[in-house]
Amino acid sequence: MNLAEEYRRFITAAKTERETIDLAVMLAEEKGFVPLEKCGTLRPGERVFTTCRGKCMAMAVIGSETLENGLSIVGAHVDSPRLDLKPRPLYEEAGLALFKTHYYGGVKKYQWVDIPLALHGVVVKEDGQIVKLVIGEKETDPVFTIADLLPHLAKDQMEKKMSEGISGEGLNLLAGGVPVADEGAQEKIKQTVLDYLNREYGFQEEDLISAEIEAVPAWPARDVGLDRSMIGAYGQDDRVSVFTTLKAIVQLPTPLRTAVALFVDKEEIGSVGNTGMYSAFFTNFVAELAVRILPQYSEISLRRILAHSRALSADVNAALDPNYPDVMDKFNAARLGHGVVLTKYTGSGGKKGTSDAHAEFMGLVRRLFNQHGVVWQSGLLGKVDQGGGGTIAYLLAVHGMDVVDCGVALLGMHSPFEVAHKADIYMAYRGYRVFLGA
Ligand code: MN
Ligand code: MN
């Protein structure tokens, strides 16, 4: 309950990948982690971190064993499904000003209409100044919303498939409704919004092209259930893993194997880009560590370190939903409140795309958790041929290391209000800590 209270505040504040990394850096520095770039030779017990473009991060506690024995890694992702403003978002129609969006990641579009949305992001002005922006989180702030069609006129819409009921180009946020007084202005309502942005932030319309603004649910995380056993919040996939991994690594005494926490971006859209798991960020970090620890560093040392490493891919899984039991194999589904979930494989349609964890590695993690009283369960993502999904596990496995998916089970995954069980959050934290310290 105490850990969950801290988590509730974290998940309410960390609504974008940038905000998550900012909070992680703050906590890391508070706990004595220093930027790797500033370090010379590293010795056991030293704590370092590095970030890339404010969107991904790696932390390490240097172990007492030689680095070539491999690292113990827990890796999570910091991005979550959301609606991104388009580069030219603002337009006027029917006497209203609106922002156009492009959804990010796997969303069910109908879940994002008729709810209060906040805008979070950065705008880079013409002179290079970077302005951070959060509108809609304070009780006195205005919010944004996408109005759905009233049922009275929704005859055609209601006949459509759920995937087509709300269109991608229909995800437009209400942004204003008062015209400017200036008789000569072309689009008077749009001008009101532009005038506001100029007055409050000094923005010109063109500044929105060099910006990343994300529309996210404007509500805070809340306790769910009369017994307060659960937490409902936006972005728990996968920031629940980020939080629990962070809490685990900052408390770690000097381990035998060097312990690494990895927080990457872009998992929800395929781990692409220079802040995603496909990028060189992680291997560069390990190389930067190695060159500061091994007197005779070479490429073969890097390859050995990576191949001898072992990793938990810290990501959420789906819990058995009492409203939808038919999509799960009940004998292999994770249950809310039954502990952290070990997922041997993800993938879809014949295990395609998964990094299937080896029995030996499942055995090692199981033994470790059992020895240290970590309550865990085995889970799979749904029935065979029901669908599926993936994590960053297969991109860690590329280096030759052993990896298994391990995380918290959710109800309503990818929705604006995902639900997790506090006991599972606590056991994820315990599990990651045991794994990093082993
Ligand atoms: Mn995830
Ligand atoms: Mn996801």
Averaged over successive runs of 10 residues, the pLDDT of the chain (438 residues) comes to: 98 98 98 98 98 98 97 98 98 98 98 98 97 97 98 98 97 98 94 97 97 98 98 98 98 98 98 98 98 94 98 98 96 98 94 94 98 97 91 96 98 98 98 97
Whether residue 141 is found in the same domain as residue 279: no
| Domain final position from 172, 189, 217 | 217
Ligand 1 (ion): residues with CB under 5 Å are 237-238, 315
Q: How far is the CA of 312 from the centre of ligand 2 (A)?
A: 16
Q: Give burial (CB, 10 Å; 0-12/13-18/19+) of 420.
A: buried
CATH number at residue 323: 3.40.630.10
Whether residue 207 is found in the same domain as residue 244: no
Whether residue 205 is found in the same domain as residue 241: no
Whether residue 69 is found in the same domain as residue 92: no
Type of residue found at 118: A
The answer to whether residue 223 is domain-embedded is: no
Task: Tell me the C-alpha distance between 165 and 158, whole Å.
Answer: 7
Q: How far is the CA of 328 from the centre of ligand 2 (A)?
A: 18
Task: Report pLDDT for 235.
Answer: 98
The answer to whether residue 338 is domain-embedded is: yes
Task: Report pLDDT for 375.
Answer: 98
Task: Report pLDDT for 224.
Answer: 98
Q: How far is the CA of 417 from the centre of ligand 2 (A)?
A: 13
Whether residue 32 is found in the same domain as residue 127: no
CATH number at residue 191: 2.30.250.10
DSSP string, 356-390: ---HHHHHHHHHHHHHTT--EEE--SSSTTS-EE-
Whether residue 47 is found in the same domain as residue 96: no
The answer to whether residue 28 is domain-embedded is: yes
Non-local CB neighbours of 51 within 8 Å, separated by 6+ positions:
21, 25, 57
Query: 334 pairs with which residues across the strands?
Result: 319
The answer to whether residue 226 is domain-embedded is: no
Whether residue 169 is found in the same domain as residue 57: no
Task: Report pLDDT for 271.
Answer: 97
- Flag whether the pTM goes above 0.85: yes
Whether residue 163 is found in the same domain as residue 41: no
Query: 176 pairs with which residues across the strands?
Result: 97
Task: Domain count for the chain, please give it.
Answer: 2
Q: How far is the CA of 347 from the centre of ligand 2 (A)?
A: 13
Whether residue 110 is found in the same domain as residue 168: yes
Ligand 2 (ion): residues with CB under 5 Å are 237
The answer to whether residue 268 is domain-embedded is: yes
Whether residue 76 is found in the same domain as residue 89: no
Whether residue 264 is found in the same domain as residue 405: yes
Q: Which ligand is nearest to the CA of 391?
A: 1
Task: Report pLDDT for 327.
Answer: 96
End-to-end CA distance of the chain: 26
Task: Tell me the C-alpha distance between 231 and 5, whole Å.
Answer: 9
Q: Does residue 373 contact residue 431 with C-beta atoms inside 8 Å?
A: no
Task: Report pLDDT for 237.
Answer: 97
Give me the domain span that covers residue 279: 2-80+234-437
Whether residue 155 is found in the same domain as residue 241: no
Q: How far is the CA of 32 from the centre of ligand 1 (A)?
A: 28
